[in-house]
Amino acid sequence: MIIKRMAAGVLATIGLAAALVAAAPSATAAAKNGVCESNEFCLYYNSGNAGSLVDLVNSQRDYGTGAGCIEFVSTGSGKGQCVKNNTASVWNRTGGPVFVFYNTDFGGVYDKIPAGAKVDLNANVKNDNASQIVGDAELRFPLNVTQAHVKNQSPKWCWDSKVNCHHDYNAADIFVATGSAVVSPVNGTVKSVNVRSSGVGSTVTVKDSFGRLWYFAHMHHNPAPVVTTGQSVTKGQRIGTIGTSAHAVGTDPHLHLDMRVGVDSRVSCSGSGCAGYGFVNNQPLLRTAFLDRPAS
């Protein structure tokens, strides 16, 4: 009996030690415990970091609604309510930027919250928040051209709008001259490369660490895209070239760019047939990237 008790005691001690080791990495950031700790991004029901809060550590494609939504958990005004479209202020303790978006899947207008900021959300997303990216969500403009170059095109991409302005679904058609370099807007992995001299021209897909799959179409076949499937790419790295095989039938040379989240391949669709597939409005992020380009 004594031996059995000792064995049980030893096992209990080992079990406790294992539990302590397992818990150690997250001890400073126990998500959703109602305390805003180091390494967390915290959402508050009221302005001025008041009212009930919830503390999160990861990106969220959709905060959710109804049963199962992410809700405010600490004692205070708003406790138990869903955070979606209900968040007035935030505290970013993650050590990097966090982006809060108006739409699900990281779409639409957004607020960039710098590391350490303890602020009310901007008017774009205050009480209109649907998703968040923990990390650097910003894009590199996908073409090595100046602002003036894009502004002088006709037809032209509606660079000055925050509203998606593709002709039919959430995507961007950016008109530029033949020979313009197409570059990756994100750090990611090349998922596909197709070289074609007709139709939609050469295409490439790149997936980033937030699950965003970017699709580039209407690129030249000669010179062909300069990346291969499985390869890593970084922001600004060359993908391909706008060329004479690069335009959709009946239009001038342009880059077609669209994005969906949580998929590994671009759905086969075109025009109004792409409605309903969850393509995301990236116009606000693209606009910010565009304004980072040289003026002329």
Interacting residues with Zn ion (CB under 5 A): 173, 256
Best CA proximity match to 218, nearest among 189, 187, 239: 239
**Neighbouring C-alpha atoms within 13 Å toward the C-beta of 70:** 29
CB 135 within 8 A of CB 56: no
Least Å distance between CB 171 and Zn ion?
A: 5
Closest contact distance (angstroms) between CB of 200 and Zn ion is: 9
Query: Distance between CA 122 and CA 132 in Å, rounded?
Result: 14
**Which one-letter amino acid corresponds to residue 209?**
S
User: Nearest approach, Cβ of 218 to Zn ion (angstroms)?
Assistant: 7
CA distance 49 to 65: 22
Whichever of 111 and 173 has its CB closer to Zn ion, that residue is 173
Q: Give the integer Cα–Cα distance in Å for 218 and 41.
A: 39
Q: Which is nearer to Zn ion, 105 or 173 (CB)?
A: 173
Give the shortest CB-256-to-Zn ion separation in angstroms: 4
Query: Closest distance between Zn ion and the C-beta of residue 211, in Å?
Result: 22
Name, in order, each residue with C-beta under 8 angstroms of 21's C-beta and a sequence gap of 6 or more.
none
Q: Which is nearer to Zn ion, 162 or 256 (CB)?
A: 256
Distance (Å, rounded) from C-alpha 71 to C-alpha 94? Answer: 20
- Residue closer to Zn ion by CB (options 113, 200) is 200
Residue with tokens 């030893």: 10
Report yes or no: 41 and 94 within 8 Å, Cβ to Cβ. Answer: yes
Cβ neighbors of 12 (< 8 A, separation 6 or more) are: none
- Nearest to Zn ion of 71, 173 (CB atom): 173
CB 34 within 8 A of CB 80: no
Q: Which residue is nearest to Zn ion (CB)?
A: 256
User: Rounded to the nearest whole angstrom, what is the least distance from the CB of residue 46 to Zn ion in the complex?
Assistant: 42
* Shortest distance in whole angstroms from residue 283 CB to Zn ion: 13
If the CB atoms of residues 247 and 256 are measured against Zn ion, the closer one turns out to be 256
Q: What angle (nearest 5°) sits at the alpha carbon of residue 162, between those of residues 188 and 124? A: 95
Compare residues 84 and 256 and give the one whose CB is closer to Zn ion: 256
